[in-house]
């Protein structure tokens, strides 16, 4: 009777080792890179027709003329062929003295489809540019 060596088990353990220690950390690292610390938005003044790029650090509020803008979180999409940038933004109008109306805009913005959740203001228009 001729005995064969069981080499298949060693290969399986080695392949499992490669998967666990090389591939899984790569996916975890790439997912962490999707969430950004800064959000770039453009603000259009409809009266003067001038626009400005505003850099917001997530979690901090920034005042621009009559608006108080705060980006809570931003995220880049996982797909490179059709990039999508999303950000959770809160906007308050400082000229509004009515305390019942807290935010002019409070929700998610999408870079590819700004009309899904539009920012509705008579003087300003805001749209999402990037997240990093």
Q: What pLDDT, in 10s, does the model give residues 54-103?
A: 999 999 999 999 999 999 999 998 776 677 899 999 999 998 877 666 79
Helical (H) or strand (E) element with 14:
helix 8-18
Domain hosting 113: range is 36-131
Task: Report which of 66, 73, 65, 132 is spatially closest to residue 106, judged by C-alpha positions.
Answer: 73
Residue 105 lies in a domain: yes
Distance of CA 36 to the CA centre of its chain: 6
Residue 80 lies in a domain: yes
Amino acid 74: pLDDT: 95
CA dihedral 105→107→110→116, nearest 10 degrees, is: -80
Full-model pTM: 0.70
Amino acid 110: pLDDT: 92
- In total, how many domains does the chain have? 1
């Amino acid at each position: 009777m001729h005995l064969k060596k069981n080499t298949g088990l060693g290969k399986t353990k080695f392949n499992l080792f490669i998967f666990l220690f090389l591939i899984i950390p790569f996916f975890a690292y790439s997912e962490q890179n999707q969430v950004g610390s800064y959000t770039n938005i453009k603000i259009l003044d409809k009266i003067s027709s001038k626009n400005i790029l505003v850099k917001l650090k997530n979690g901090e509020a920034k005042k621009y003329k009559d608006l108080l803008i705060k980006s809570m979180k931003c995220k880049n999409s996982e797909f490179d062929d059709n990039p999508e940038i999303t950000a959770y933004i809160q906007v308050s109008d400082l000229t509004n003295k009515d305390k019942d109306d807290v935010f002019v805009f409070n929700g998610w913005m999408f870079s590819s489809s700004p009309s899904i959740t539009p920012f509705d203001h008579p003087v300003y228009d805001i749209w999402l540019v990037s997240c990093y």
